[in-house]
Every structure is written in structure tokens, then in C-alpha cells.
Structure 1
Amino acid sequence: MTDYWIILTGALVASACGFLGCFLILRKMAMLGDAISHAVLPGIVLAFLFSGSRDAVPMLIGAAIFGLLTTIIIQTLRGQGVQSDAAMSVTFTALFSIGIILVSLFTRQVDLDLDCVLYGEIAYVPWDPLKLGGMDLGPRAVWLIGAAFFISLVVITLFYKQFKLCAFDPALAAAIGIPVTFFHYLLMGLVSLTTVASFESVGAILVVAMLIVPAATAYLLTDRLSVMLGLSIGMGTTSSLVGYWIAKLLDASIAGCMSVTAGVLFLLAFLFSPKHGVITRWWIR
């Protein structure tokens, strides 16, 4: 049963992150997840200072607020002519540094640092159950990440045409009256919610990998967004399943093996994709 919960958690993280990662790839904001993973540290520290505890709920609220703040600052800098990668780098390094200062000033006597808050271990997921009325409902992470994935599915489904047009041609979307800025921040809010919900349980490395690699793999395999979304979920789930059994066979890091498996799938797509594969194009020529 432990294997089942770990694989399910990994699949949910991969599906939730890969699903949103498709839009980040199309909008050329692939490294946003990495930026958020560092920039939320001040929110975590402030949540601890206000609540006086390390419970998951206040931590997640504080992290989510700063995750959304990160996207707002990045978008503001981009609007003022700063290049996208530079805006992300400046924002997450500045907020991460503020978080480190807060940790060193106010939480020296408390076990509160980036490792214990963000770099979780997916192997421990089955040992942190959600209990309601004395009933064990399964790992807390499954419910948390599952809820974030469900919210993303509902929002993207309801506004699929708007998100699609904003991703491919924001100028046209604005011209026909679609509030591009609103849908940008709505997407960034979903990304922040999903990444923050996943960090504590499975670790930032796995989240950042699954946010980008399955979507990038799907991008090489199709030119249709709807198919790309489905492929990203499939690639992420496959990476979680295969990566877990490789980790078990080698007695290695589970998150590391899942991420490496996703990378191998990307390499195969890069080489053998029907339209964009390097070897495929060479063979056709």
C-alpha cells in the first residue's frame, strides 16, 4: 500500500504540474516554477511568525501569497521592458534573500529552514495521513495536490478558449476584448497554488522538473494544445511510475529517479519525434 500512495502522489504532482506547464512553455515562462520555489521563503517565515506554529495550512497560505506576489512583480518588470529571464532572476533572488534574513533574525532557535519546509521527501508521504473524525482518509499530500489539480482542471476547462488564445496570440486576445492581464494572473495563481501545494510533500526538485519536462516532451510530439495537455499528463504519470520502480531497484532517491525518467522521455522525444526529432529529420533527409 505504501508503494501505491507514493506512486499516486508522484502521478498527481506530475499531472498537475505538467498540465499547467504546457501554458508556461507556450508563454516562454518555463522557469517560473523554480523562481516560485525560492521566492516563497519569506511567506513561510512570516506565516510562522504570525501563527507561532509549523502547521501546513498557515505555511501554505503564506507561501501561496508570496508565490502570487512573485508573479505580479515579474509581470510588472516585464511590462517595464525588463527581459523575462532577468525579471525572474531578480525577483526570486531578492525575495529568497529576504527570506534568509528573516530566518536568521527571527527563527534561529526553531527548526525552520528551506530544507525542512520546501525540500520534502516523497517517501514520507504515506506516514502523514489526513484524519477526519478518527477516520484515516489517506495521505494528506494526496488530498492537497489532488485538490489543486482539480481546481486547475475546472478553471482551464471553463476558460479553455481564452487561455489558448492568450497563450498563442495575446495581442489578438486583447483586440477582441479578452482581459489578457486577468487570465495571466489567473494562470499564475494556479501555478503558485499547485507548486506550493506540492513542495512540502514531494520536494522542489520534483515539482520544478514535472512543471517543465513533461510539457516540453509533449510540445515536441504534437502541434495541438489539447493533445499536448493530455500527453503532458501521460508523460508525467509514466515518469512517476517508472521512476519509482527504478528508485526501488537501485535504492536511490525517488524524486531524483522520477525526474531522470522524465528527462529520458524528453531525450527520446527530442531524438525520435515524428516532426521535430533530430534523428527523424536526418532519416527523412
Structure 2
Amino acid sequence: MIEVLLVLVVTALATSVLGVFLVLRGLSMTTDAISHTILLGIVLAFFITNDIRSPWLIIAASVVGVLTVYIIELISRTELVRQDAAIGLVFTALFAVAIILISKYAGDAHLDMDIVLMGEVIFAPFNRIDILGFSIPNALWQLSIILLVNIAFVALFYKELKLTTFDPKFAFIAGFSATFIYYVLMTLVSVTAVAAFDAVGSILVINFFVAPALTAYLLVKRLSSMIWLSMLFAVVNSMLGYFIGFGFDLSIAGVTSFVALITFMLVFIFNSNGWLNGKIRSIKQKRTFTRAMILMLMNEQGHMRLTEAEIVSHFNLDQKQFKKHIEHLLINDYIEKMNGHYTLTERGEEYTHYIRIKYELPI
């Protein structure tokens, strides 16, 4: 079963290296559209060749993938509808045509809808090809070539990809053709999606393009680091998905997609700039602000001595919140309590003076 794992890993690498640029360019949903509409190209080529393994299926599917991108771009450039609406319109329409053609005219062909959507990578080794006397899965051979092509494209056009991704206007002034780079990128995305389509299904293809890149995006800001980290996450997700799916007799494609989600959520929640740390920082900032405002109120003319009721009423605090804030201020010697009243200490006055200067408040 090592061949299944190799197919999964090579597919993940081939898609993730391009997925970085799709995520950065805001084209993630375009990948979803391509992964569905290429089915129309497969169906049309099958009607002509009547051979499910014909190379013309890949060519036709790739052409339809590029055509999908062109139609979406054509509609969105009119500015009559937004790009997300154009994507939804085009991909559902072309995918629906493919489903209608399959159900009406290709009922006896081996074009199973469940396999199309979910994929079944364990079947990949059954379709083999002889290369230099060695028998290897056809999907592994195709995707290995595509992986090399994708890496070569990124390596050769790295500067152009970087410029057209982050600053297309400057790229135009510098003489780079953003349109050319865009359509070459989307052509490779289409070809990669087609090659991965039969092996892992459209859902996992989308996941492989987007999830590793999004996870890497949360951790690094350098483009080169993001590419390498995206490929690393793709491999890790594939290996975990394979071993878990194989061990518990589950759909490997489904488990791999779920593992990618878990990986993303862990990074999203626990990384240094993630959701959890953001919530903790927000809570700390709110506490610091409230305590600073209590001190500022005490420093106002005529409000040097405040009772508990006055502080609670002014800041709408409950007893638990009041106790936490006051204990902190007392422990840090910002205030002192005398005869049921709270007043600023010398240190508290210095702190309020610092706050006024820092935030340019009137002294």
C-alpha cells in the first residue's frame, strides 16, 4: 500500500506549491470551480474517444478548466456582478451540464459520481504503466511529472509571480505581463486538478490546493517560507490522513481533508498571532484600560476620593469585576483605601501622568 501513500503525497505537493499563489491572489474559490468544471471536459472527450483512459480526456479537461477561468474573469471584469457571484454562476452551470450529460448519455460508463466527488485513492495502483521496465501507478507517473513542472514554473518565474501577486500595477510598469503569468498559473492549476481528479476526487483536490497554503499563511509572511511550509503541511496531512484512514478503514480522502482542517484550526487557535492569543490580548487590554480609567477618574478635579459605589456605578462593574480591578491597583500601590474611600497614591498620580502623555490627553 506504499504506492497509495506515494500518490497521495505527490498529489499534495503538486497542488500545494501552486495553492500558495491561489490563496494570496484570492482565487481559492476559483480552484473549487475548476475542480468541478473539468468534469465537463472529461465527459466531452469521452464521448469522442469512447476511452476513459485516453490522454485526450486530460487535454479536454484542462481546456475546460482554463475556459472556466476565462469566463469568470470576463464576467467579473464587466463589474456588473462580483467575482464570487461569477464563480458560483459559471462553475454550477458547467458542472450541471456535465452531470446531465453523464446521466443521460454515459450511464454505462465508469464515471461514478461518488468517486468523482470524494475520490478513492486506494484504487490508484490498479491503473498502471510501464516505465523503463518498472510498473508504477499511472497517477503517480503523471503527478510526478506535473510536480516537477509546477516546481520549475515557480522557480523560473518566482520574481514575476511575486510581483504580479503583491503589486500587479508595479509589475505592469516594470514590463511584466500579469495576464500571461495569471493564465499560465491557472493552466497549470487546471492540469494539476485534472491529473489529481481521478486519483483523489474533486473535494480533496480543493483541500490540497487551499488548506496547506492557508495554514502556512498564518505562520509566516515571507513568500518563500510560505511555499516550503505549505508543502510540508501537505505532506504531513497526507501521511496522517493515510495512516488514520487505513488503520480505521475510513475514506482516506475524507480523513485527509479532515486532518487538514484540524491542522489549520490548531494553528489558527494556538499560534502566536492566533485566535486564542488574540482573545487573551483583548481581555488584558480591556482590563488595563478599565484600570487606567479608574485611576484617571480619581485624578479628576473633585474626584480624588471615590467610594466603591461610585466606581461600580461609573464603570458599570459587578462585584467580582470591581474586586479584581481594585485588588490589582492596591497590590501595585496605585491607590490606597482610607475610611471606605479610594484615593491615588504618589505612584498612581505618576502613572496617570504617563497615560496622559502617552495618549496625548490634556493634562
TM-score by length of 2: 0.73
CA distance in 2, matches of 1:27, 1:197: 23
The Cα shift of 1:31 comes to 1.4
1:272 aligns with: 270
CA distance in 2, matches of 1:203, 1:105: 22
CA distance in 1, matches of 2:208, 2:163: 24
2:138 aligns with: 140
SS in 2 for 1:31: helix
SS in 1 for 2:130: strand
The Cα shift of 1:86 comes to 0.9
2:228 aligns with: 230
1:180 aligns with: 178
Q: Deviations over 1:149-204 (max 9, x none)?
A: 11111111111011011111112211222111111101101110111110001111
1:91 aligns with 2:90: yes
SS in 1 for 2:134: strand
1:213 aligns with: 211
Q: Is the 8 A contact 1:129 1:136 kept in 2?
A: no
Q: Is the 8 A contact 2:12 2:238 kept in 1?
A: yes
Quote the RMSD (CA, aligned, Å): 1.8
The Cα shift of 1:215 comes to 0.4
Q: Is the 8 A contact 1:45 1:103 kept in 2?
A: yes
1:281 aligns with: 278
1:252 aligns with: 250
SS in 2 for 1:40: helix
Q: Is the 8 A contact 1:6 1:122 kept in 2?
A: yes
CA distance in 2, matches of 1:59, 1:67: 12
Of 5-14 and 115-124, the range deviating more from structure 2? 115-124
Q: Deviations over 1:34-62 (max 9, x none)?
A: 11122122211210111122114122111
CA distance in 2, matches of 1:64, 1:119: 20
2:23 aligns with: 25
Q: How many residues align?
A: 281
- Give the aligned residue type for 2:122: A
- Give the aligned residue type for 2:42: I
CA distance in 1, matches of 2:276, 2:116: 43
- Give the aligned residue type for 2:227: L
SS in 1 for 2:28: coil
- Give the aligned residue type for 1:196: V
Judged with a 3 Å threshold, the aligned counterparts in structure 2 of structure 1 residues 72 and 127 are, in CA distance, closer, same or farther, namely same
Q: Deviations over 1:62-97 (max 9, x none)?
A: 111101111111111222113121111111111112
Q: Is the 8 A contact 1:37 1:118 kept in 2?
A: no
CA distance in 2, matches of 1:119, 1:246: 17
Judged with a 3 Å threshold, the aligned counterparts in structure 2 of structure 1 residues 115 and 246 are, in CA distance, closer, same or farther, namely closer
1:43 aligns with 2:41: yes
2:32 aligns with: 34
Quick one: higher RCO (CA 8 Å, sep 6+), 1 or 2?
Answer: 1
Identity %: 39
The Cα shift of 1:233 comes to 0.2
- Give the aligned residue type for 1:185: Y
Q: Is the 8 A contact 2:118 2:254 kept in 1?
A: no
Q: Is the 8 A contact 2:6 2:140 kept in 1?
A: yes
Judged with a 3 Å threshold, the aligned counterparts in structure 2 of structure 1 residues 62 and 114 are, in CA distance, closer, same or farther, namely farther
The ranges of structure 1 where at least 4 consecutive aligned residues each deviate by more than 3 angstroms after the TM superposition are 108-120, 281-285
List alignment gaps of at least 5 residues for structure 1.
none
CA distance in 2, matches of 1:116, 1:264: 24
SS in 2 for 1:221: coil
CA distance in 2, matches of 1:27, 1:12: 24
- Give the aligned residue type for 2:120: E
CA distance in 1, matches of 2:232, 2:115: 30
SS in 1 for 2:218: helix
Q: Is the 8 A contact 2:119 2:204 kept in 1?
A: no
CA distance in 2, matches of 1:118, 1:129: 22
Greater Rg by CA: 2
The Cα shift of 1:118 comes to 6.0
Aligned counterpart in structure 2 of residue 64 of structure 1, from 59, 62, 65:
62
The Cα shift of 1:114 comes to 3.9
Q: Is the 8 A contact 1:118 1:200 kept in 2?
A: no
List alignment gaps of at least 5 residues for structure 2.
285-363
CA distance in 2, matches of 1:175, 1:267: 39
CA distance in 2, matches of 1:34, 1:100: 16
SS in 2 for 1:252: coil
